[in-house]
């Protein structure tokens, strides 16, 4: 199978190549921190200079808007040793007409749900008299942040298209809607979901230094020394630290192992030339790359007989969860692969040989993605000087991970972890820990509302 052999060669990620990718990531990080627009990596300043310590206390809210659903959450924090005492949330889907309507309609709909959520809460959740309720707002769209609690929408993605919100401060829009509901609530933190994951991870474990989301899309955020950000012109934060949202999905480098399938996918995508790293490592695209390989094999090597199965020509018919199920098939006759080919692509009566090749393609594509993600993480560790043994005996450096791809595609996550170990070497790998940090985008935002509360000084 010449096509398979070529795929394997083009997707190869030997250690030396991954180290080149990691070095390129570090170089781009420096460039993105030096000046606006200095790199493919935006390296956005988040204005989060106080990550949760674990001592936060009281009731805090979060609103998580990142797609066609949104969630409202309430978290009760018990202070130093109390941790999260209780949490409740409500998930609401957004009517399609509001995704393309007006800003006021969308935010009024959200604020009404928020008011409804608060109205139904029991007496345990009362905020002390004379205090406003405080909310962390996770908004997973591109925003130019202007302070911890303000930021202007750069552009809508994911099917939203409301002209009169672009360029506006989304916190101001939400605040006006909350006031129209007669609700006494203040937005104290505007955060990106990756930053929320970092906050949620840090709350549980003070050694967390970075967060990576590997789901439909991918991104990373980490804690940087404020002095190491030349483009930061404001006052240096008291903590001396600043969380940076890398927007690493947009990373690209001549060292990335790209194939004809990746170039074709990119050209036909909604955002050609953008998010190249994301297009080879994240959940939205892995299954589609496999489909494109299978399609070429069907066309040029009659892999599925003399005709090309029509379903195989339809972009995005093969989803990454289905690819994962095939990749994890441990049955002797690979019957999961057989049934997926039949139900999704309408290809029946496949031989064991054909099924084995399909699994091999899944393996090549997933392995490349997982190893490149590990190289990206290694790049962050290098930027922070954590890629070598430091004198701090027993010092752990923890990466908080979240996202469906990482959580559910175990061949991918296992490969990522093994590759990171291979890159940092045996000695350093003892100090690097990867932890699953669940639901940062919800709880993380409530925790950031707490760590940036307007009442902190009062209670101090």
Catalytic residues: 71, 140, 193
**284, HSE (Cβ side, Cα atoms, 13 Å):** 16
- The Cα–Cα gap between 208 and 447 comes to 15
Cα distances (Å, whole numbers) of residue 322 to 65, 77, 261: 27, 39, 19
- The Cα–Cα gap between 222 and 218 comes to 14
Residue 2 burial class via C-beta count within 10 angstroms: exposed 0-12, middle 13-18, buried 19 and up: exposed
* Angle, CA of 446, 450 and 452, to the nearest 5°: 115
Alpha helices in 234-329 (DSSP H): 260-267, 276-281, 283-300, 320-327
Bridge-based pairing state of the strands 432-436 and 397-402: parallel
Q: What CA dihedral angle connects 366, 367, 372 and 377, to 10 degrees?
A: 100
Both structure tokens of 427: 């000695």
Both structure tokens of 100: 């393309």
Both structure tokens of 260: 């004809």
- The Cα–Cα gap between 187 and 414 comes to 39
**Residue 425: phi, psi to the nearest 5?**
90, 160
- The Cα–Cα gap between 355 and 447 comes to 47
- The Cα–Cα gap between 159 and 413 comes to 29
Q: Which residues contact 151 (CB under 8 A, 6 or more apart)?
A: 139, 143, 144, 145, 169, 170, 171, 190
* Angle, CA of 372, 43 and 270, to the nearest 5°: 65
Exposed e or buried b for every residue in 439-452, given b needs 16+ CB within 10 A? bbbbbbbbbbbbbb
Both structure tokens of 307: 């005709």
């Amino acid at each position: 199978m010449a096509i398979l052999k070529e795929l394997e060669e083009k997707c190869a990620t030997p250690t030396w190549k991954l180290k080149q990718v990691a070095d390129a990531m570090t170089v781009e990080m420096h460039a993105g921190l030096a000046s606006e627009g200095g790199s493919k990596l935006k390296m956005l300043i988040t204005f989060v200079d106080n990550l949760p310590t674990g001592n936060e206390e009281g009731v805090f809210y979060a609103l998580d808007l990142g797609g066609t659903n949104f969630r409202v959450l309430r978290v009760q924090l018990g202070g130093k040793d109390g941790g999260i005492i209780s949490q409740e949330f409500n998930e609401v889907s957004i009517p399609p007409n509001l995704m393309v309507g007006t800003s006021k309609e969308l935010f009024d709909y959200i604020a009404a749900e928020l008011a409804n959520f608060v109205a139904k809460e029991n007496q345990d959740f009362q905020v002390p008299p004379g205090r406003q309720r405080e909310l962390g707002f996770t908004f997973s769209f591109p925003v130019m942040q202007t302070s911890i609690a303000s930021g202007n929408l750069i552009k809508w993605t994911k099917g939203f298209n409301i002209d009169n919100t672009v360029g506006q401060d989304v916190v101001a829009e939400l605040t006006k809607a909350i006031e129209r509901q007669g609700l006494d609530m203040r937005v104290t933190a505007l955060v990106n979901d990756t930053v929320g994951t970092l906050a949620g991870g840090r709350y549980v474990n003070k050694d967390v230094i970075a967060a990576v989301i590997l789901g439909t899309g991918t991104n990373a955020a980490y804690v940087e020394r404020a002095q190491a950000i030349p483009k930061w012109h404001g006052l240096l934060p008291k903590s001396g630290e600043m969380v940076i949202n890398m927007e690493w999905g947009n990373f690209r480098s001549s060292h990335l192992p790209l194939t004809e399938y990746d170039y074709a996918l990119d050209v036909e995508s909604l955002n050609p030339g953008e998010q190249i790293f994301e297009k080879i490592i994240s959940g939205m695209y892995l299954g589609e790359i496999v489909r494109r390989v299978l399609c070429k094999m069907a066309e040029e090597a009659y892999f599925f007989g003399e005709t090309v199965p029509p379903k195989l020509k339809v972009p995005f018919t093969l989803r990454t969860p289905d690819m994962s199920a095939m990749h994890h098939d441990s049955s002797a006759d690979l019957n999961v692969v057989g049934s997926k080919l039949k139900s999704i692509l309408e290809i029946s009566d496949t031989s064991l040989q054909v099924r084995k090749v399909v699994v091999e393609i899944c393996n090549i594509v997933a392995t490349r993605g997982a190893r490149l993600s590990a190289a990206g993480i290694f790049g962050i560790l290098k930027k922070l000087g954590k890629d070598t043994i430091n004198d701090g005996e027993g010092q752990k450096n923890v990466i908080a991970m979240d996202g469906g791809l990482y959580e559910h595609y175990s061949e991918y996550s296992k490969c990522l972890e093994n590759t990171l170990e291979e890159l940092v070497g045996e000695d350093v790998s003892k100090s690097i820990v990867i932890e699953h940090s669940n639901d940062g985008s919800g709880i993380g935002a409530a925790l950031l509302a707490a760590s940036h509360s307007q009442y902190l000084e009062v209670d101090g």
